């Protein structure tokens, strides 16, 4: 999945910047790992949608996108895109059933996206702020392991068919209580959930807003740091170098997004 | 099962598998391998071997090719484990592995590895819909 994210960032990087600079060093190839996107939801959802669109249009792969709340402002072109399937399970149980049944479909997805894992794991919809409880570790592990196992199985199927869509990857977003500004009854519970998820997601994409004057200096509305970390760059090397990429994201008033490799 | 195990554990399972492939009789595990098993996995090693003796591990497979393992625990409860990564719904996995990070796996997952190495996994076929129910934890055979 980090390979798809890197493709998203490169596709949306400045045309006047590094792409025209012959001495600019391209980022190293990113591994095809399952990725957890952590950070503010408004941006993480946009990143997930960009990943879905990029995967469907640039790579031509099928995408299964799961979210608990309907995406209200989905562009018409996305609604008509036959390669992306949007599903809105209301509960964790429904999500588990839908992910578990992906193997039943004749044309499996190559990318599984889940928006707001935390919402499903809290066991409530939208406005409840009950926070995490210690018993949620097993639920988090079940969902993450099912995603991992499903992606591994669908990869085998795609490879057996000789499909260029292999491997199947998974990406999910997670909003911690700290990022949401909510007080959790048990502050360590969110960290323990993230620790559990880290067991199953090999890479992490962290979104961190830049609150300095950099956005203003770039005539942008917002500036963000985007960190890709965790997975080994070369999957087949046990002691290979790990992924560590930093991008800068500028969001302009008209909604234009521009990524720059740092 | 693709593993998240350290190399020493993977080598141990390969050794056990080789022993059972090379013999035509059912033997008990050599004491040297037993010692290594207890050293690497601690107290759950003997508990897992009990589950192996009781033939408690079944590999479910469905027409789509999807597979999963089911293990009958000591209390008779059924636990579903995955092929490609470590997960078990039992309290020991949640507490010792996930929360305390004090163990690599629980006795049920270890029993799966051992049964696979010793070729004593039961086999069962289920429909695709039943497999989905098993994987999601909403039902099973």
Cross-chain residue pair B98–A101, CB shorter than 8 Å: no
- Which SS3 state, helix, strand or coil, does residue B110 take? helix
Choosing among B3, B129, B137, which should be mutated to test the A contact, i.e. which has the most A CBs within 10 A?
Answer: B137
When comparing pLDDT for A18 and A152, which is higher?
A152
Give the residue extent of every domain in chain B: 7-135
Please report which confidence band the pLDDT of residue A95 belongs to, taking 50, 70 and 90 as the band edges: very high
The stretch A133-139 carries a mean pLDDT of 76
Distance CA B62, CA B50 (A): 28
Choosing among A102, A108, A139, A145, which should be mutated to test the B contact, i.e. which has the most B CBs within 10 A?
Answer: A145
Nearest to B110 by CA among B67, B55, B47: B47
Alpha helix locations (H) across chain B? 7-22, 31-41, 44-53, 91-92, 107-118, 128-136
Distance CA A224, CA A208 (A): 6
- Rounded to a whole number of angstroms, the distance from the CA of A112 to the nearest CA of chain B is 16
Distance CA B44, CA B51 (A): 10
Please report which confidence band the pLDDT of residue A127 belongs to, taking 50, 70 and 90 as the band edges: very low
Q: Is the dihedral of CA B15, B16, B17, B21 positive or negative?
A: positive
Whether residue A62 is predicted with pLDDT greater than 60 in this model: the reply is yes
Say what the pLDDT of residue A211 is. 82
Please report which confidence band the pLDDT of residue A26 belongs to, taking 50, 70 and 90 as the band edges: low
Q: Which domains does chain A have, with CATH numbers?
A: 4-9+30-205 (3.40.50)
Cross-chain residue pair A104–B98, CB shorter than 8 Å: no
Alpha helix locations (H) across B63-121? 91-92, 107-118
* B78-81, strands of its sheet edge to edge: B78-81, B67-72, B57-61, B122-125
By CA distance, what is A152's nearest residue in B?
B84
- pLDDT tens digits for A226-239? 888 886 544 545 55
The stretch A160-185 carries a mean pLDDT of 76
Whether residue A69 is predicted with pLDDT greater than 60 in this model: the reply is yes
User: What angle in degrees, to the nearest 10, is found between the helix axes of A136-160 and B128-136?
Assistant: 150
Distance CA A87, CA A89 (A): 6
Torsion angle in degrees (nearest 10) through CA of B29, B31, B36, B42: 80
- Rounded to a whole number of angstroms, the distance from the CA of B24 to the nearest CA of chain A is 33
Say what the pLDDT of residue A17 is. 42
Say what the pLDDT of residue A18 is. 42
When comparing pLDDT for A185 and A176, which is higher?
A176
Please report which confidence band the pLDDT of residue A191 belongs to, taking 50, 70 and 90 as the band edges: confident
By CA distance, what is B139's nearest residue in A?
A97
Residue A162 backbone class (left: φ over 0; alpha: ψ -120 to 50; beta: rest): left
Say what the pLDDT of residue A65 is. 95
Burial of B17 (0-12, 13-18, 19+ CB in 10 A): middle
Nearest by CB to residue A101, choosing from B2, B94, B132, is B132
Distance CA B107, CA A200 (A): 20
Burial of A206 (0-12, 13-18, 19+ CB in 10 A): middle
By CA distance, what is A138's nearest residue in B?
B94
Whether residue A19 is predicted with pLDDT greater than 50 in this model: the reply is no
> Which residues of A make CB contacts under 8 Å with B?
93, 96-97, 99-101, 103-104, 134, 137-138, 141-142, 145-146, 148-150, 152-153, 156-157, 192, 195-196, 199-200
Residue A261 CA to chain centroid, in angstroms?
18
Nearest to A48 by CA among A76, A93, A97, A86: A86
Cross-chain residue pair B89–A138, CB shorter than 8 Å: yes
Nearest by CB to residue B89, choosing from A142, A153, A156, is A142
- Which SS3 state, helix, strand or coil, does residue B131 take? helix
Cross-chain residue pair A153–B65, CB shorter than 8 Å: yes
Say what the pLDDT of residue A9 is. 75
Determine the Cα angle at B140 with ends B85 and B3, to 5°.
Answer: 10
Cross-chain residue pair A142–B4, CB shorter than 8 Å: no
Say what the pLDDT of residue A16 is. 40
| Mean pLDDT for all residues in chain A | 79
Cross-chain residue pair B64–A156, CB shorter than 8 Å: no
Whether residue A159 is predicted with pLDDT greater than 80 in this model: the reply is yes
Q: Please, what's the b/e burial string for A212-237 (b: 16 or more CB within 10 A of its CB; e: otherwise)?
A: eeebeeeebebbbbbbbebbbbeeee
When comparing pLDDT for A93 and A27, which is higher?
A93
Say what the pLDDT of residue A32 is. 65
Residues from chain A that touch B64, judged by Cβ atoms under 8 A, are 103-104
Average pLDDT for runs of 10 along chain B of length 141: 69 83 67 83 90 95 96 93 91 91 91 92 96 88 49
Nearest to A68 by CA among A173, A188, A141: A173
Say what the pLDDT of residue A213 is. 75
By CA distance, what is B86's nearest residue in A?
A145
């Amino acid at each position: 999945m980090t390979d798809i994210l890197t493709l998203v960032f490169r596709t949306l990087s400045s045309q006047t910047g590094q792409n025209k600079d012959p001495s600019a060093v391209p980022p190293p190839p990113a591994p095809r790992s399952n990725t957890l996107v952590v950070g503010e939801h408004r941006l993480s959802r946009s990143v997930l949608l960009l990943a879905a669109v990029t995967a469907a249009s640039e790579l031509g792969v099928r995408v299964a996108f799961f979210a608990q709340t309907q995406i209200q402002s989905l562009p018409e072109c996305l609604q008509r895109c036959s390669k992306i399937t949007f599903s809105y399970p209301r509960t964790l149980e429904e999500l588990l059933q839908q992910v578990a049944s992906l193997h039943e479909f004749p044309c499996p997805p190559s990318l599984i996206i889940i928006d707001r894992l935390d919402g499903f794991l809290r066991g409530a919809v939208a406005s409840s702020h009950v926070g995490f409880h210690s018993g949620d570790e097993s639920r988090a592990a079940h969902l993450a392991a099912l995603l991992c196992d499903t992606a591994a199985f669908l990869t085998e199927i795609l490879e057996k068919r000789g499909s260029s869509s292999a491997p199947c990857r998974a990406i999910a977003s997670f909003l911690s209580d700290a990022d949401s500004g909510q007080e959790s009854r048990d502050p360590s519970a969110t960290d323990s959930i993230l620790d559990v998820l880290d067991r199953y997601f090999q890479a992490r994409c962290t979104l961190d807003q830049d609150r300095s004057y950099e956005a203003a200096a770039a005539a942008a509305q917002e500036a963000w740091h985007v960190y890709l970390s965790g997975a080994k760059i070369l999957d087949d090397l046990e002691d290979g170098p790990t992924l560590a990429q930093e991008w800068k994201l500028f969001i302009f008033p008209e909604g234009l997004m521009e990524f720059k490799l740092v | 099962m693709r593993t998240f195990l350290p190399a020493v554990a993977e080598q141990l399972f390969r050794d056990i598998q080789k022993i059972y492939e090379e013999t035509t009789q059912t033997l008990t595990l050599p004491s040297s391998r037993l010692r290594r098993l207890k050293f690497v996995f601690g107290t759950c090693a003997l508990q897992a071997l009990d589950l192996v003796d009781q033939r408690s591990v079944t590999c479910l497979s469905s027409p789509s090719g999807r597979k999963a393992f089911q293990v009958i625990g000591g209390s008779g409860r059924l636990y579903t484990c995955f092929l490609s990564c470590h997960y078990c719904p039992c309290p020991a996995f949640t507490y010792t592995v996930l929360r305390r990070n004090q163990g690599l796996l629980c006795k049920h997952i270890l029993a799966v590895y051992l049964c696979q190495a010793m070729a004593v996994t039961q086999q069962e076929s289920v429909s695709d819909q039943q497999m989905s129910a098993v994987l999601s934890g909403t039902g099973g055979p």
